[in-house]
Amino acid sequence: MNHNDLKDFLDAKVIQYNNPKFIESDPIQIPHQFNKKEDIEIAGFLTATIAWGNRKSIINNAQRMMQLLDNSPYDFIINHHDSDLEGLKPFVHRTFNGNDFIQFIKSLQHIYKKHDSLETLFLKYAKQDSLQTSIHHFKKHFFEIKHLPRTQKHISDPLKNSAAKRINMFLRWMVRQDNAGVDFGIWKTLSPSQLSCPLDVHSGNVARKLKLLNRKQNDAKALNELDASLRTLDNNDPVKYDFALFGLGVFESF
């Protein structure tokens, strides 16, 4: 398949999967329950944090998270008392447990009170063509308060060679301007051209079959290689192809 044929093929797959029907079976349905910007980004961040494993389980447990936050995540984070955190202790999703959840609430409160918003913090460290350094610094600020060392593993660091799939997915949700109604595009100070594709086993395998990626490991080096390939197809919105790669892998077993 030559470059033009590949672009045409993937553009068609983006149209096929980047539409409201996609929301029905995807964890992005959780932040779609909210209207307030802060509620959307908190629901999106927490959902993305536990987005590994069975998709149905991810959705069910993310929904449980929202219920534990009284379905008002921003208000809970800003105004909670220590006694309110006790109700979070029974929560568990795979290796993310109630203590991790409590730490995330405390760290998010710290971010909002010190930096005003998540968007402001990511913008502060953004590069013209990448947000990977922003992820690194976000993690540092997230854990600059007293925290459980075990909880650090739940935010990946691209500068330590992680593909950081879950937080790159969260950034796609927040930044990408999506006329199809799937991604939110509520972070107006950042550009879709700065985003990186959420690289997981599905998108990685499809990308290799389509010769968009050669590296075998799904790490930061592979992410950089895939980003470069996708930017040759659309430099302004390279991460729209996540819909094509993911759809081909999950729904079509490409």
User: Which pair of tokens denotes residue 250?
Assistant: 């999950």
pLDDT of 11 > 90? The answer is yes
Contacts of 148 (CB under 8 A, 6+ apart): 99, 100, 103
What is the H or E stretch that residue 97 is in?
strand 96-97
Number of domains in the chain: 1
Q: What is the pLDDT of residues 72-96, one digit of tens each?
A: 999 999 999 999 999 999 999 999 9
Largest CA-CA distance found in the chain, in angstroms, rounded:
60
Domain with 171, as residue range(s), is 3-250
**Residues 211, 196: Cα–Cα separation, whole Å:** 18
pLDDT band for position 254 (50/70/90)? confident
Residue 48: what pLDDT? Answer: 98
Instruction: Give the model confidence (pLDDT) of 207-223 as tens digits.
Output: 999 999 999 999 999 99
Per DSSP, the residues of 193-212 read GG------HHHHHHHHHTTS
Question: What is the distance between the alpha carbons of residues 220 and 133, in angstroms, rounded to a whole number?
Answer: 12
Task: Tell whether the model's pLDDT for residue 129 goes beyond 90.
Answer: yes
Mean model confidence pLDDT for the chain: 96
Over residues 5-30, mean pLDDT: 96
pLDDT digits (tens, 9 = 90+) for 154-205: 999 999 999 999 999 999 999 998 889 999 999 999 999 999 999 999 999 9
Predicted pLDDT of residue 18:
95
